Amino acid sequence: MIQYFLAKEAPSCEKPVFSIIVPTWNNLEMVKLCVASVLKNSAYNHQIVLHVNHGADGTREWAAEAGLDYTFSDQNVGICLACNAAYSLAKADYIVYLNDDMYVCPEWDLHLLDAIKEYGREDFYFSGTIIERENSGYNCVSAPHNYGTNPADFQEERLLKEYKKCMIADWQGANYPPSVMHRRMWDLIGGFSVDFSPGMYSDPDISMKLWQVGVRNFKGVGSSLAYHFMGKSTERVVKNDGRKQFIRKWGLSAHAFFMLYTKLLNHENGLAYQGVLSDPPATLAHSFQRFLARLKMW
C-alpha cells in the first residue's frame, strides 16, 4: 500500500520549476547527499519528491523532518511504481527523474532549462550528463573522474572546483537520469511501466513510449552534470529480465532502438546532438534487427 505525504508550505511559496522525483530504498546517507546537492547547487526553486521504499534505515523519518514531500511503501516496490507514486505529488510542469546515488553539480538545472527554453515545445526528452569514476565505454558519460565511491569518501570540494572540466558536448539520444520531460508527456505515456519492475530496462521503455507518441527530440545536455556513485541500489535487488521484456513488448531490442531510432548508439554519425529526428526509413537493417530480436527470444 502506498502512502502520501505533502509537506506544509508557506502560502507565498512560488511554483517550482522542476518536480524532482527520487526513489530511494534504505539508502539514507546517499539520499541525504543527493537532496543536499539539489538544495545547494540549483539555480532555481524546485520541488523534491521522494518515494521511500521500506525505509527501515530512518529515511521516512528524515524526509518528514526535512520537510520533503514523499510517498511511502512498507516494502520495496521498485523504481517504476515508486516514480509513478511520487509523480502523483508533483506540482511543476517539468518532471525530473533523479537517482538517489547522484550528486548534482552547480547550475545543472540552469543548463537543462536553457535547453528546454531554446526548443520551445513540450514534445522532448532531455538528459543531464553523469560523471563516473570508471570508464564504462559510453561516450555520453564523462569518465573516468573519481570523486569517491560513497558519501564517506566523497571528495565534494574537489568536485566543485573541477566539475566544469568534466563538461562534454551535447549528445544524441537522451535516456538516462537525470532526465526531464513535460508533465503532459508523462501523462500521455502513463509514466513508468510497472511491468518492468523493479526497473531494469524501464529507461529505454520510457524512451520508446515517448517515441510512440511523437517525441523526436532526445537531447543529452553536456553542461548539466551529476556525479554518479554507480548502482548502490541495483546491486541489492533481484533484477527483472528487462532485455527480453523489451523485445516482447516492442518487437526489437533496446540496442536496435537506440541505434536506429534515437541514435544514441549510431556510430556512423558519432554521438553529437543531431536535433529533431525523423522517422527511420523501412530498410533492410531495420528488418534484420527485428529478425534478430525474434531470435533472441528463443
Relative to beta strand 218-228, strand 69-73 is unpaired
Three-class DSSP category at 34: helix
pLDDT at 286: 55
Helix (H, G, I), strand (E, B) or coil at 253: coil
Q: 136-183 pLDDT, tens per residue?
A: 877 899 999 999 999 999 999 999 999 999 999 999 999 989 999 999
Looking at residue 284, what is its pLDDT? 47
Give the percent of the chain with pLDDT over 90: 76
Which amino acid is present at 257? F
Query: How many domains, in total, are found in the chain?
Result: 1
Task: Identify the sign of the CA torsion 50, 54, 56, 60.
Answer: positive
Q: Cα 78 from chain centroid? A: 14
Beta strands in the chain (DSSP E): 2-5, 18-25, 47-53, 69-73, 94-97, 102-104, 125-131, 171-172, 179-182, 218-228
For residues 228 and 264, is the Cβ–Cβ distance under 8 A?
A: no
Tally of residues, the chain = 298
For the stretch 256-268, pLDDT in tens is 999 999 999 865 5
Q: Is 132 left (phi over 0), alpha (psi -120 to 50) or beta?
A: beta
> What single-letter amino acid sits at 45?
N
Q: Under DSSP, is residue 272 helix (H, G, I), strand (E, B) or coil?
A: strand
User: CA-CA distance, 196 to 201, in Å (whole number)?
Assistant: 7
Residues in the chain, pLDDT under 50:
269, 284, 288, 291, 298
The domain spanning residue 129 has which CATH number? Answer: 3.90.550.10
d(CA 155, CA 60): 27
286 by Cβ neighbours in 10 Å (0-12 / 13-18 / 19+) ranks as middle
Asked if residues 226 and 108 have their Cβ atoms less than 8 Å apart, the reply is yes
Domain of residue 233, residue span: 2-296
**DSSP 8-state code for residue 276:** S
C-alpha triplet 43, 26, 137: angle, nearest 5°: 65
C-alpha cell at 95: 518532471
Q: State residue 2's pLDDT score.
A: 85
CB 109 within 8 A of CB 46: yes
Crossing angle for the helix pair 242-250 and 202-212, to the nearest 10 degrees: 20
Question: Omega before 204 cis (within 30°)?
Answer: no
Pairing of strands 102-104, 47-53: unpaired
Q: Is the pTM of this model over 0.85?
A: yes
What's the CA gap between 174 and 204, in Å, rounded?
10
